[in-house]
Protein backbone atom coordinates (compact mmCIF):
# COMPACT_ATOMS: atom_id res chain seq x y z
CA UNK A 1 0.00 0.00 0.00
CA UNK A 2 1.35 3.41 -0.97
CA UNK A 3 1.23 6.21 1.55
CA UNK A 4 1.75 9.90 0.74
CA UNK A 5 2.88 12.44 3.36
CA UNK A 6 0.03 14.42 4.90
CA UNK A 7 -0.10 18.17 5.46
CA UNK A 8 1.32 17.98 8.98
CA UNK A 9 4.39 16.02 7.86
CA UNK A 10 5.02 18.36 4.94
CA UNK A 11 4.47 21.51 7.01
CA UNK A 12 6.82 20.26 9.75
CA UNK A 13 9.53 19.40 7.21
CA UNK A 14 9.29 22.79 5.51
CA UNK A 15 9.42 24.65 8.83
CA UNK A 16 12.61 22.76 9.72
CA UNK A 17 14.18 23.61 6.38
CA UNK A 18 13.05 27.26 6.60
CA UNK A 19 15.50 27.94 9.43
CA UNK A 20 18.36 26.55 7.40
CA UNK A 21 17.32 28.55 4.34
CA UNK A 22 17.00 31.77 6.35
CA UNK A 23 20.51 31.32 7.75
CA UNK A 24 21.98 30.60 4.32
CA UNK A 25 20.04 33.40 2.58
CA UNK A 26 19.99 36.68 4.51
CA UNK A 27 18.03 38.16 1.60
CA UNK A 28 15.10 35.79 2.34
CA UNK A 29 12.19 37.80 3.75
CA UNK A 30 9.31 35.29 3.69
CA UNK A 31 8.81 31.63 2.90
CA UNK A 32 5.52 29.82 2.61
CA UNK A 33 3.48 27.30 0.72
CA UNK A 34 0.28 27.43 -1.26
CA UNK A 35 -1.76 25.13 -3.47
CA UNK A 36 -3.20 21.77 -2.49
CA UNK A 37 -1.26 21.39 0.76
CA UNK A 38 -2.30 24.86 1.93
CA UNK A 39 -5.93 24.26 0.94
CA UNK A 40 -5.97 20.79 2.51
CA UNK A 41 -6.94 18.97 -0.68
CA UNK A 42 -3.60 17.28 -1.38
CA UNK A 43 -3.61 13.71 -2.65
CA UNK A 44 -1.26 10.93 -3.72
CA UNK A 45 1.33 12.52 -5.98
CA UNK A 46 0.71 16.14 -4.94
CA UNK A 47 3.73 18.40 -4.98
CA UNK A 48 4.43 21.24 -2.57
CA UNK A 49 4.14 24.72 -4.07
CA UNK A 50 6.55 27.01 -2.22
CA UNK A 51 6.94 30.77 -2.51
CA UNK A 52 9.94 32.72 -1.35
CA UNK A 53 10.14 36.52 -1.22
CA UNK A 54 13.69 37.88 -1.25
CA UNK A 55 14.89 41.43 -0.71
CA UNK A 56 16.49 41.61 -4.16
CA UNK A 57 18.25 39.43 -6.71
CA UNK A 58 20.35 39.90 -9.83
CA UNK A 59 19.56 36.34 -10.89
CA UNK A 60 16.81 35.88 -13.50
CA UNK A 61 13.49 34.64 -12.11
CA UNK A 62 13.77 31.29 -13.90
CA UNK A 63 17.12 30.54 -12.22
CA UNK A 64 16.55 31.77 -8.65
CA UNK A 65 15.09 28.57 -7.22
CA UNK A 66 18.31 26.73 -7.97
CA UNK A 67 20.13 28.70 -5.28
CA UNK A 68 17.86 27.30 -2.54
CA UNK A 69 18.68 23.86 -1.14
CA UNK A 70 15.25 22.45 -0.44
CA UNK A 71 16.41 18.86 -0.15
CA UNK A 72 14.87 16.89 2.67
CA UNK A 73 11.24 17.59 1.88
CA UNK A 74 9.11 14.42 1.69
CA UNK A 75 7.33 15.40 -1.57
CA UNK A 76 8.32 16.93 -4.91
CA UNK A 77 8.55 20.73 -4.84
CA UNK A 78 7.83 23.69 -7.10
CA UNK A 79 9.65 26.75 -5.76
CA UNK A 80 8.91 30.29 -6.94
CA UNK A 81 11.30 33.05 -5.83
CA UNK A 82 10.16 36.67 -6.22
CA UNK A 83 11.96 39.83 -5.23
CA UNK A 84 10.22 42.20 -2.89
CA UNK A 85 9.83 44.65 -5.78
CA UNK A 86 8.34 42.06 -8.12
CA UNK A 87 5.92 40.87 -5.46
CA UNK A 88 4.87 44.42 -4.61
CA UNK A 89 4.33 45.18 -8.30
CA UNK A 90 2.12 42.13 -8.74
CA UNK A 91 0.14 43.12 -5.63
CA UNK A 92 -0.30 46.65 -6.96
CA UNK A 93 -1.49 45.30 -10.32
CA UNK A 94 -4.03 43.13 -8.50
CA UNK A 95 -3.02 39.93 -10.26
CA UNK A 96 -5.37 37.05 -9.54
CA UNK A 97 -2.48 34.70 -8.74
CA UNK A 98 -1.32 37.06 -6.00
CA UNK A 99 -4.82 37.54 -4.58
CA UNK A 100 -5.35 33.76 -4.48
CA UNK A 101 -1.96 33.18 -2.95
CA UNK A 102 -2.43 35.84 -0.29
CA UNK A 103 -5.71 34.21 0.70
CA UNK A 104 -4.40 30.65 0.96
CA UNK A 105 -0.66 30.88 1.68
CA UNK A 106 0.71 29.34 4.85
CA UNK A 107 3.78 31.37 5.76
CA UNK A 108 6.35 29.33 7.69
CA UNK A 109 9.06 32.00 7.93
CA UNK A 110 9.03 35.78 8.07
CA UNK A 111 12.20 37.75 8.75
CA UNK A 112 10.04 40.62 10.07
CA UNK A 113 8.35 38.30 12.59
CA UNK A 114 11.71 36.84 13.55
CA UNK A 115 13.04 40.34 14.25
CA UNK A 116 9.97 41.23 16.35
CA UNK A 117 10.34 38.07 18.42
CA UNK A 118 14.04 38.78 18.96
CA UNK A 119 13.33 42.27 20.27
CA UNK A 120 10.79 41.16 22.89
CA distance 71 to 36: 20
**Cβ distance 55 to 84 under 8 Å?**
yes
**Cβ distance 103 to 22 under 8 Å?**
no
For the stretch 72-119, pLDDT in tens is 999 999 999 999 999 999 999 988 999 899 899 999 999 987 655 444
For the stretch 5-27, pLDDT in tens is 999 999 999 999 999 999 999 99
- Statement: residue 63 has pLDDT above 50: yes
Quick one: pLDDT at residue 112? Answer: 85
**Cβ distance 53 to 79 under 8 Å?**
no
Element (H, E) at 62: helix 61-64
Quick one: pLDDT at residue 119? Answer: 47
Could you tell me the pLDDT band of residue 62, with boundaries at 50, 70 and 90?
Answer: very high
Q: Output the CA torsion 31→29→111→23 (10° steps).
A: 80
Quick one: pLDDT at residue 117? Answer: 45
Can you give the residue ranges of every domain in the chain? 7-119
Quick one: pLDDT at residue 47? Answer: 96
The CATH fold assigned to 7-119 is: Beta Polymerase; domain 2 (3.30.460)
What's the predicted TM-score (pTM) here? 0.89
Amino acid sequence: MLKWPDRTAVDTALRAIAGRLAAAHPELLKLGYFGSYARGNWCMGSDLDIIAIVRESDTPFTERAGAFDISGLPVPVELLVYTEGEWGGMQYEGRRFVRDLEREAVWVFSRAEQRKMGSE
